[in-house]
């Protein structure tokens, strides 16, 4: 194999593939990138950790076809340091897995592996995937995933919460994530389809898709939910992940019926929480929120450390309510909301779930359980 490729383009591709591959695995080949050149003007690079796989097709000049596995981390680190515009990659033959990379006055030699041993991309029913394919605006998908993924559970025992739940009902998609103490719920409208399906996309896969969307300049993308796989396509990329197998909880039953609300500026609430949370430091202590018609008083007390008290302006006309929250749970949702926007908080009893949502997006709901006072 011999090909000539743009260095900057190659670096961007390897940057996306690098997180996919795993260097801590019993299968060494999953820490390699498979480089395959079959056509005259394109090559394909594939990274996989078995659970997730990413294939990227890029333009290049193929002088002679072939394929090889190159250690991903070493490959990426070497390419990052190159300076000339073009990179030439050569291999000897299929029986000698050695790749040489030339760029300007630099020559690198990689001891690789035979391409036939690489896991490659998972096989799936392409016809079925096409019939279930959903086209969606890239920014809409990025926004929905960003506003939910942080609420997924990290506990392996409740594996069915280790991902974002997709619920597609023809022209509506619901994205839901919960760890049992809080729940993030986004509803978005799409172009009408006949697709009705659900699936739990693993947290790791959602984070990969977010990274891809952040670097892509494409206005639209697509995805399919099959019985076992999530297939995401954008530009010249195809990302596949196994789905979490299990039943997602009945999330709509936990949404509280709120009759009293208050309004607060997101940036004011963020500032207040940060100014009052230095005392608690670790998770588990919590901050008290006292809501009154005069405003919000935030306070945290740890006998061996000290006391912090902060007042924040709010618009509220209800009865006085004191409640205790884990500060990071409130900051998490505020971090994905426009800081200049107002936040609507649904007031409830101190032992019942509370509701938070941005004033400009009624289709985004965040539910959080208070701590014991």
pLDDT, tens digit (0-9, with 9 covering 90-100), for 275-330: 999 888 766 689 999 999 999 999 998 888 899 999 999 999 999 999 999 999 99
**Cβ neighbours of 299 (radius 10 Å):** 17
- Closest C-alpha to 289, from 345, 365, 338: 345
Long-range contact list for 247-255, CB < 8 A, 24+ apart?
247/160, 248/160, 248/161, 248/165, 248/176, 248/198, 248/200, 249/160, 249/161, 249/178, 251/165, 251/176, 251/178, 251/183, 251/185, 254/183, 254/353, 254/367, 255/185, 255/355, 255/365, 255/367
105 CB contacts (<8 Å, ≥6 apart)? Answer: none
Q: Render pLDDT for 85-123 as a digit per residue (tens, 0 to 9).
A: 999 999 987 778 999 999 999 999 999 999 998 999 999
Quote the pTM value.
0.94
Q: How confident is the model at residue 260 (pLDDT cuts 50, 70, 90)?
A: very high
pLDDT at 23 over 70: no
Q: Render pLDDT for 192-206 as a digit per residue (tens, 0 to 9).
A: 999 999 999 999 999
* Lookup: tokens for 336: 């994905």
196 CB contacts (<8 Å, ≥6 apart)? Answer: 168, 169, 170
* Composition of the chain by helix, strand, coil, percent to 5: 25, 45, 35
Distance between CA 28 and CA 113 in Å, rounded? 10
Distance between CA 314 and CA 297 in Å, rounded? 10
Please tell me the least confidently modeled range out of 93-107, 144-158, 204-218, 240-254.
Answer: 93-107
* Lookup: tokens for 168: 């597609």
Q: Which domains does the chain have, with CATH numbers?
A: 2-117 (3.10.150.10), 126-252 (3.10.150.10), 255-368 (3.10.150.10)
Q: Are 163 and 153 in contact (CB under 8 A)?
A: no
Q: Name the β-bridge partners of 54.
A: 47, 239
Q: Are 37 and 18 in contact (CB under 8 A)?
A: no
Distance between CA 228 and CA 239 in Å, rounded? 14
Starting at the earlier edge strand, list the strands of the sheet with 134-137. 66-71, 32-37, 42-48, 52-59, 237-242, 229-234, 220-225, 134-137
Distance between CA 254 and CA 350 in Å, rounded? 16
10 CB contacts (<8 Å, ≥6 apart)? Answer: 58, 79, 87
């Amino acid at each position: 194999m011999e090909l000539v490729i743009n260095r900057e383009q190659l670096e961007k591709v390897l940057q996306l593939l690098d997180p996919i591959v795993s260097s801590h695995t019993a299968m060494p080949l999953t820490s390699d990138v498979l480089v395959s050149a079959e056509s005259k003007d394109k090559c394909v690079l594939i990274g996989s950790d078995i659970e997730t796989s990413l294939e990227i097709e890029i333009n290049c000049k193929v002088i002679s076809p072939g394929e090889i596995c190159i250690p991903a981390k070493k490959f990426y680190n070497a390419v990052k340091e190159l300076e000339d515009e073009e990179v030439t990659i050569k291999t000897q033959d299929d029986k000698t897995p050695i790749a040489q990379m030339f760029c300007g006055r630099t020559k690198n030699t990689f001891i690789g592996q035979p391409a036939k041993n690489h896991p490659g991309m998972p096989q799936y029913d392409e016809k079925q995937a096409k019939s279930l394919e959903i086209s969606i605006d890239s920014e809409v998908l990025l926004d929905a995933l960003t506003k939910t993924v942080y609420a997924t559970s990290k506990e392996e025992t409740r594996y069915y919460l280790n991902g974002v739940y997709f619920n597609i009902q023809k022209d509506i998609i619901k994205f839901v994530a919960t760890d049992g103490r809080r729940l993030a719920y986004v509803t978005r409208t799409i172009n009408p389809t006949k697709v009705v399906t659900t699936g739990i996309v693993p947290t790791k896969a959602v984070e990969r898709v977010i990274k891809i969307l952040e670097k892509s300049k494409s206005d639209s993308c697509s995805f399919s939910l099959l019985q076992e796989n999530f297939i995401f396509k954008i530009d010249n990329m195809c990302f596949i992940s196994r789905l979490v197998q299990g039943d997602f909880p009945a999330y709509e039953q936990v949404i509280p019926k709120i009759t009293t609300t208050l309004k607060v500026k997101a940036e004011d609430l963020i500032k207040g929480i940060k100014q009052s949370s230095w005392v608690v430091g670790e998770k588990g202590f919590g901050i008290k929120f006292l809501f009154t018609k005069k405003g919000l008083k935030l306070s945290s007390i740890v006998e061996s450390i000290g006391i912090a008290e902060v007042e924040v302006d709010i618009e509220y006309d209800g009865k006085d309510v004191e409640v205790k929250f884990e500060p990071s749970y409130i900051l998490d949702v505020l971090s994905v909301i426009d800081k200049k926007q107002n936040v609507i908080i649904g007031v409830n009893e101190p032992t019942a779930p509370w509701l938070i949502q941005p004033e400009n997006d009624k289709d985004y709901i965040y539910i959080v359980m208070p701590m014991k006072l």
